[in-house]
């Protein structure tokens, strides 16, 4: 792994992407014992508007807390893609929601598409787990933390009644993510 | 055994540090980006036998904190720029009446409502001179989650030891970001409680400085009767206009923080690669993290850069800043404001080296590239 690996989750406020970032940072920092830092930026709205969450994972202490050159980026909406799918490194990856992002940003990175919201609704039956599917997919595509570490971090965050639902969502995302890159 | 660790937000770590320090009272009024401090305190205080109150406004909040402290509790409030402005009147009261308390300011853009969800560092001069009149100030500026915890503990220690309000300033970035924290065991960090008076209840004088610059403070309701006022007062706490008493009290209240012994106790800095540095980045809070990144990149390019990071911003690190001005070709001050601490650096450096600033007030953090460009432009 490179010394500093940067992941950005972006979408609409309320889609749970800040939570996805927190879970990934927890998998890296608490479960795998690496250095990790999660930050976010959002507008004044409680829901809607574009929001982003960034996670930096490193094998050395992290000084600058924001992304410099993004290794992997997720955009769940067109607004998020337009606003936040920037600064992605050459050869880096950009994962888009296949239904909600019609116009992909241009750049020297590789674009992948998954119908994340649709998968949440149709395959899992709850739109609310879209963030966990997206997290699974990003981990599957990047191997930035192990599959098990990601799963354990998800399980630590969700209430008991929702464990099975989220486990299913995580695993679905992880498999689809792996399929995309292979 | 490994220490207990967790991934937490700066604001949460601040509240956890306050509990570690023995804080038993929080009075506040919620404001972004500081609200999680209040939220966390409201969850934790009842578990340790403390009290949480959301007051009707910001000045009410600091009033409740002063009252709680006079009753003997370690007390905390948290706010951001607009709320910090509203608290200034009673911060001055806590200064002159010498009431220990801790004030957290999670800085956002400003003035006025400004940019509630964006970071800023534009309250650093307000922390020094926000309340009117001559007074001493202590302000601590942590840069990481772990440091927010330890500096909050230290803020309580300094407040209790020097009997005055102590401010902890960090910005939205550090307040809201998450990193791993390793919790100190109970007893691992020093926790200071205020000195109790030895005088009998009938003889107690709340401002009797005959035994030292910081007179012991009795707790209301514990038997000692005394008077507290915002007026200049004599050692018994009652108002006076006697010239020699007024002047002596004002001088003592500043000396208790600014005498050499107190400065040595209160000041805290971190130095990085300064031994041979031609360019010193003088940076605090989250901007210091950008500056450290810049130092590493500049060193790769053969530029001898180093970082001086005050952890105690007030009292100002006069001695070390003056020494660095003698040693370096330039001191660069990156700040998320349009230039505040740079003037203090300039004052102390006395034209011994080039002083320049890097500023940003658009809601984005100062990035290392900006700082590197400035360094290259200056040398």
pLDDT tens, A122-157? 999 999 999 999 999 999 999 999 999 999 999 999
d(CA B152, CA B130): 21
Chain A CB contacts of B176 below 8 Å = 39-40
pLDDT(B162) > 60: yes
CATH of the domain at A146: 3.40.920.10
Across B296-307, average pLDDT: 98
Establish, for the pair of chains A and B, how many residue pairs have beta carbons separated by less than 8 Å. 60
pLDDT tens, B327-367? 999 999 999 999 999 999 999 999 999 999 999 999 889 99
d(CA B180, CA B172): 18
pLDDT(B195) > 60: yes
Domain boundaries of chain B, sorted by first residue: 5-182, 201-264, 271-378
The reported pLDDT for the residue numbered A49 is: 83
Q: Map residue B9 onto helix, strand or coil.
A: strand
Pick from B5, B177, B293: CB nearest A63? B293
Structure token digits, residue B206: 């709340």
Structural contact between residues B266 and B257, judged by C-beta atoms closer than 8 angstroms: yes
pLDDT tens, B210-254? 999 999 999 999 899 999 999 999 999 999 999 999 999 999 999
Chain A CB contacts of B82 below 8 Å = none
Mean pLDDT of chain B: 97
The reported pLDDT for the residue numbered A43 is: 67
* Mutation target vs B (from A65, A68, A69; most B CBs, 10 A cutoff): A65
d(CA A167, CA A158): 10
Could you give the residue ranges of the DSSP H alpha helices within chain B? 10-20, 35-44, 58-70, 81-97, 124-129, 145-162, 172-176, 243-258, 260-266, 286-300, 318-327, 341-349, 368-378
Given 3-state DSSP classes, what are the helix, strand and coil percentages for chain A, each rounded to the nearest 5? 45, 25, 30
Chain B CB contacts of A25 below 8 Å = 7, 178
Across B128-133, average pLDDT: 97
Based on the number of CB atoms within 10 Å of its own CB, is B118 exposed (0-12), middle (13-18) or buried (19 or more)?
A: buried
Compute the nearest-CA separation of B291 from chain A (Å): 8
| Closest residue of chain B to A57, computed from CA coordinates | B179
d(CA A135, CA A85): 17
Q: Which domain holds residue A141?
A: 4-181
B116 touches chain A (CB under 8 A): yes
Chain A residues whose C-beta is within 8 A of a chain B C-beta are 22, 25-26, 29-30, 35-44, 62-66, 68
Residue ranges of chain A whose pLDDT lies below 70: 1-2, 43-47
Please name the residues in contact with B188: beta carbons below 8 A apart, sequence gap of 6 or more.
none
pLDDT(B1) > 80: no
The reported pLDDT for the residue numbered A47 is: 66
The alpha-carbon radius of gyration of chain A (Å, integer) is: 15
CB contact under 8 A, A26 and B7: yes
The reported pLDDT for the residue numbered A41 is: 82
Q: How many structural domains comprise chain A?
A: 1
Look up the ipTM and state it.
0.93
Structure token digits, residue B270: 């971190």
Q: Which pTM value belongs to this model? A: 0.96
Q: Do domains B5-182 and B271-378 have the same CATH topology?
A: yes
Unique residue bearing structure tokens 């934790």: B44
Fold for domain B5-182?
A: Rossmann fold (3.40.50)
The reported pLDDT for the residue numbered A45 is: 62
The reported pLDDT for the residue numbered A1 is: 40
Across B265-276, average pLDDT: 98
CB contact under 8 A, B7 and A62: no
Chain A CB contacts of B117 below 8 Å = 41-44
pLDDT(B375) > 70: yes
CB contact under 8 A, A44 and B116: yes
Q: Map residue B183 onto helix, strand or coil.
A: coil
CB contact under 8 A, A66 and B365: yes
Pick from A30, A35, A37: CB nearest B177? A37
Q: What length is written for chain A?
A: 182
DSSP string, B104-157: EEEEBS-STT--TTSB--TTHHHHHHSSSSS----EE---SHHHHHHHHHHHHH
Structural contact between residues B231 and B93, judged by C-beta atoms closer than 8 angstroms: no
Chain A CB contacts of B368 below 8 Å = 64, 68
Give buried/exposed letters for B29-57 (b at 16+ CB in 10 A, else e): bbbbbbbbbbbbbeebbeeeebebbebee
Compute the nearest-CA separation of B177 from chain A (Å): 4
Fold for domain B271-378?
A: Rossmann fold (3.40.50)
- Cβ atoms within 10 Å of A174's Cβ, excluding its own: 21
DSSP string, B305-339: EEEEEESEEES--HHHHHHHHHH-SEEEEEESSSS
């Amino acid at each position: 792994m490179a010394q500093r690996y940067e992941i950005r989750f972006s979408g609409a406020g309320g889609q749970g992407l800040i939570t996805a970032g927190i879970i990934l940072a927890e998998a890296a920092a608490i479960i795998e014992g690496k250095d990790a830092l999660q930050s976010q930026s959002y507008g004044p709205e409680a829901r809607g508007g574009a929001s982003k969450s960034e996670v930096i994972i490193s094998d050395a202490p992290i000084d600058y807390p924001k992304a410099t050159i993004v290794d992997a980026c997720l955009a769940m909406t067109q607004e998020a893609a337009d606003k936040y799918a920037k600064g992605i490194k050459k050869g880096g990856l950009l994962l888009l929601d296949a239904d909600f992002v019609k116009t992909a940003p241009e750049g020297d990175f590789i674009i992948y598409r998954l119908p994340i919201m649709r998968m949440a609704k149709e395959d899992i039956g709850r739109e609310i787990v879209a963030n966990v599917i997206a997290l699974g997919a990003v981990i599957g595509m990047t191997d930035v933390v192990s599959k098990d570490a990601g799963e354990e971090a998800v399980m630590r965050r969700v209430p008991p009644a929702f464990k099975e639902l989220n486990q299913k969502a995580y695993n679905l995302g992880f498999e689809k993510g792996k399929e995309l890159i292979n | 055994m490994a220490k207990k660790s967790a991934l937490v937000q700066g604001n949460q770590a601040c509240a956890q540090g306050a509990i570690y320090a023995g804080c038993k009272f929080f009075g506040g009024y919620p404001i972004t980006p500081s609200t999680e401090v209040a939220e966390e305190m409201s969850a934790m205080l009842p578990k340790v036998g403390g009290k949480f109150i959301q007051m009707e406004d910001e000045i009410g909040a600091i009033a409740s904190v002063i009252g709680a402290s006079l009753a003997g509790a370690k007390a905390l409030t948290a706010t951001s720029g607009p709320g910090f402005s509203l608290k200034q009147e009673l911060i001055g009261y806590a200064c002159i009446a010498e009431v220990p308390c801790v004030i957290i300011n999670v800085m956002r853009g400003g003035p006025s409502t400004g940019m509630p969800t964006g970071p800023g560092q534009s309250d650093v001069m307000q922390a020094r001179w926000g309340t009117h009149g001559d007074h001493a100030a202590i302000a601590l500026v942590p840069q990481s989650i772990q440091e927010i915890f330890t500096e909050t503990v230290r803020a309580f220690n300094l407040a209790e030891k020097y009997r005055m309000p102590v401010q902890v300033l960090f910005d939205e970035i550090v307040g809201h970001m998450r990193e791993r924290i390793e919790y100190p065991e109970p007893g691992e960090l020093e926790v200071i409680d205020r000195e109790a008076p030895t005088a009998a209840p009938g003889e107690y004088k709340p401002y009797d400085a005959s035994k030292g610059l910081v007179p012991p403070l009795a707790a209301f309701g514990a038997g000692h009767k005394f008077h507290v006022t915002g007026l200049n007062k004599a050692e018994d706490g009652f108002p006076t206009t006697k010239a020699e008493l007024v002047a002596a009290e004002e001088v003592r209240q500043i000396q208790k923080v600014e005498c050499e012994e107190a400065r040595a106790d209160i000041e805290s800095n971190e130095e990085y690669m300064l031994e041979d540095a031609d360019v010193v980045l003088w940076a605090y809070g989250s901007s210091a993290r950008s500056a450290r990144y810049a130092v590493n990149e500049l060193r790769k390019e053969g530029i001898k850069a180093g970082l001086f990071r005050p952890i105690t911003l007030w009292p100002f690190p006069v001695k070390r800043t003056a020494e660095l001005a003698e040693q370096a070709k330039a001191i660069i001050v990156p700040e998320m404001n349009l230039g505040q601490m740079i003037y203090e650096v300039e004052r102390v450096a006395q034209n011994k080296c080039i002083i320049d600033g890097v500023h940003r007030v658009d809601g984005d953090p100062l990035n290392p590239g900006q700082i590197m460009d400035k360094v290259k432009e200056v040398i």
